[in-house]
Amino acid sequence: MSDRSAIVPAPTTRRSVKDLKLGESATICCLEDPEMALKLLEMGCIPGTQVRLNSRAPLGCPITLVVGEQCDYTLSLRVSEAATILLK
């Protein structure tokens, strides 16, 4: 990691849904923005749920996520919103 992480001992697991590669799956760890979290929780983005980056809009934003191990349903959200979903 960079020098900065040495100074600021930020957790190394600060990866968010925003950083997923196309087709990559990961498990939600926590939701950063409390207000946004309410909406995301309602939509099924519960900590412990698996999500997969399904596609990006032609201009890179918004993106679509497939939620759930069974690929239950697809959500679309903006990159700024995706950045508040932290991954394990």
Partner 1 sequence: MTSGEDITTNPAGVAGSVERLEAAAGRAGGLLTRIALVGNPNSGKSSLFNQLTGLNQKVGNFPGVTVDRKTGISQLTPQLRAEIIDLPGTYSLYPKSLDEKVITSLFYDHTSPQYPDFVVVTVDASNLRRNLLLFTQLADLGLPAILALNMMDTAEQHGIQVDIAALQQELGVPVVPLNARKGVGIAALKILMSQTLGAPTERFYEPEEDLVPMVRQIRYYFNLHNDYLALHYAHQYRHLAFLSPDERTYLEELTTQYDFKPTVRQAQETIARYARVNEILLNCVTVTRTEQNEPYSNRLDKVLTHRVWGYAIFFGVLFLMFQAVFAWASYPMELIDQGVAGINGLIQTNFDGPLISLLTEGVLAGLGGVLIFIPQIALLFAFIAVLEETGYMARVTFMMDRIMRRFGLNGKSIVPLISGVACAVPAIMSARTIENRKDRLITIFVTPLMSCSARIPVYTVLIGLVVPDEAVLGIFNLRGFALMGLYLLGFFAAIFSAWAMKLLMRTTERSYFIMEFPVYRWPRWKNVGITILEKVKTFVFQAGKVILAISIILWVLATYGPPGRLEQVETQARTTAATQRLTPDETEARVASERLENSYAGIFGHVLEPAIRPLGFDWKIGISLITSFAAREVFVGTMSTIYSVGQDANELTVQQKLAAEKDIYGQPFFTPARSFSLLVFYVFAMQCMSTLAATYRETKGWKWPMLQLVYMTGLAYVASWLVYSLMS
Site of interaction with partner 1 (CB under 8 A): 31, 34-44, 46-47, 54-55, 57-62, 64, 66, 68, 70-78, 81
Please report which residue ranges of 1-88 form alpha helices under DSSP H.
Answer: 3-7, 34-42, 79-82
Residue pair 31/41 in contact (Cβ under 8 Å)? The answer is yes
One-character DSSP codes across 64-77: EEEETTTT-EEEEE
Question: Which C-beta is closer to partner 1: that of 5 or that of 76?
Answer: 76
Question: Which C-beta is closer to partner 1: that of 77 or that of 86?
Answer: 77
**What's the closest the beta carbon of residue 2 comes to partner 1, in angstroms?**
29
Residues 6+ apart with CB under 8 A from 53: 17, 20, 21, 22, 23, 24, 63, 64, 65
**What's the closest the beta carbon of residue 83 comes to partner 1, in angstroms?**
13
Question: Which C-beta is closer to partner 1: that of 5 or that of 80?
Answer: 80
**What's the closest the beta carbon of residue 11 comes to partner 1, in angstroms?**
21
